[in-house]
Amino acid sequence: MSPYVLILSGLYDFSTDLVILRLEESGIPYVRLNREQLADHRLTLDPLVPEMTIQGPAGTYDVGLDLRSVWFRQPVFLRNTPPVPLSPEDQLERSQWAAFLRGLCVFRHAAWMNHPAATYLAESKPYQLSAAATCGFHVPATLASNDARRIRQNFPQSVVIKSLDTVLLREGDDCLFTYTIVNPDTELTDDAVAPAPLFAQRALEQKTDLRVTVVGDDVFAVRILSKGTGIAGDWRVVPKADLEYRDIALDDSIADRCRQLTRYLGLSFAAIDLIEIPEGIFFIEVNPTGEWGWLSTVDRPIDHAIASWLADPTKDDG
């Protein structure tokens, strides 16, 4: 069988299930490969045709010119050093399968959600901010720096501290994660900043968070509230039961900027974080691999939109 859609995912990536159910309903031929199960298959890529044959638990497929789209739900680079040494076998498996998956970029005729090269660049927060400003967004004053003195000078009253890239660290049996820090209690000393750069940003007061999910030309926007109002600080630390996602219709100009930014970054999918304050709407960040499954509902059918795009990526061209 020659699939129209190639899905490169992970075994516990439940959002992938949602989209596959929609593809199945539509009768669109697809194949899903999970990174944990790649070695259970026999995969051969001929980069010159291009063609990939798949034999294994997922079935038997010839991935080739019928391929319309690739849904790439894989890390594009290694963020963390493992806390324990990897065996040579593990190292080999990680590096070579990652290279194999990147090698699937030979399917240039297919549309990608998202192309790894575009994701790699779009994951850079400084680059995102620059791109967002180019696309007409208001962007908070920001420095990427390891210079505590400069940060204190530029943000004397209040400051938001963020990591430059997702902080996801391992220590023993624990996982460490850093949320956005608003006005840290501890002084920003040279010792506390110099060893690694961070993002320092103007704190936006009286804020309401907006999450905008862009799929091709479709835009889904929600306002994130707790007890009917915006949330000071990082909303992700608020208990789930206290969160409310209220659908909103963005101004056409903001919706168009979200689409424009997505295209500018070479993406077909983007999860964009905005902040609304009395002064206006500000761009905060874009997540090319952002999660969306928690937002998808019958009335907010992000899963349908992704499946529809994967089935016919050309529909947005008209």
Partner 1 sequence: MKGEPMAEHVLLTYATRRPYRTAPVMPDGVQYDPVKGYWLKNDTPLLTTKEFLEGDRVSKKCDQETGEDQKGE
Shortest gap between Cβ of 280 and partner 1 (angstroms)?
Answer: 26
Whether 102 contacts 245, CB under 8 Å: no
Interacting residue with partner 1 among 4, 50, 71, 73 (CB under 8 A)? 73
CA distance 303 to 18: 6
Whether 10 contacts 35, CB under 8 Å: yes
Whether 151 contacts 225, CB under 8 Å: no
The residue type of 262 is: T
* Contact status: 196 vs partner 1 (CB under 8 A): yes
Shortest gap between Cβ of 317 and partner 1 (angstroms)?
Answer: 27
For residue 27, which phi and psi values (nearest 5 degrees)?
Answer: 75, 25
**E-assigned strand segments in 73-167:** 111-113, 142-145, 159-162
* Contact status: 177 vs partner 1 (CB under 8 A): yes
CA distance 115 to 25: 26
Contacts of 230 (CB under 8 A, 6+ apart): 206, 207, 208, 209, 223, 224, 276
User: By three-state DSSP, how is residue 90 classified?
Assistant: helix
Question: In this chain, which stretch among 63-71, 124-132, 179-187, 202-210 interacts with partner 1, using CB under 8 A?
Answer: 179-187
Shortest gap between Cβ of 76 and partner 1 (angstroms)?
Answer: 9
* Contact status: 7 vs partner 1 (CB under 8 A): yes
Shortest gap between Cβ of 191 and partner 1 (angstroms)?
Answer: 4
Print the binding letters for residues 9-48 with partner 1: x by CB under 8 A, - otherwise: -xxxxxxxxx-xx--x-----xxx----x-----------
User: By three-state DSSP, how is residue 301 classified?
Assistant: coil
Question: In this chain, which stretch among 62-70, 75-83, 101-109, 252-260 interacts with partner 1, using CB under 8 A?
Answer: 75-83
* Contact status: 291 vs partner 1 (CB under 8 A): yes
* Nearer to partner 1 among residue 36 and residue 46 (C-beta): 36
CA distance 190 to 148: 5
Residues 131-160 that bind partner 1 (CB under 8 A): none
**Cis peptide before 154, with omega less than 30 degrees from 0?**
no
* Nearer to partner 1 among residue 239 and residue 318 (C-beta): 239
User: By three-state DSSP, how is residue 79 classified?
Assistant: coil
- Footprint of partner 1 on this chain (CB under 8 A)? 7, 10-18, 20-21, 24, 30-32, 37, 56-59, 73-75, 78-80, 82, 161, 163, 166-171, 173-179, 181, 184, 186, 188-189, 191-193, 195-196, 198, 236-237, 240, 271, 287, 289-291, 293-294
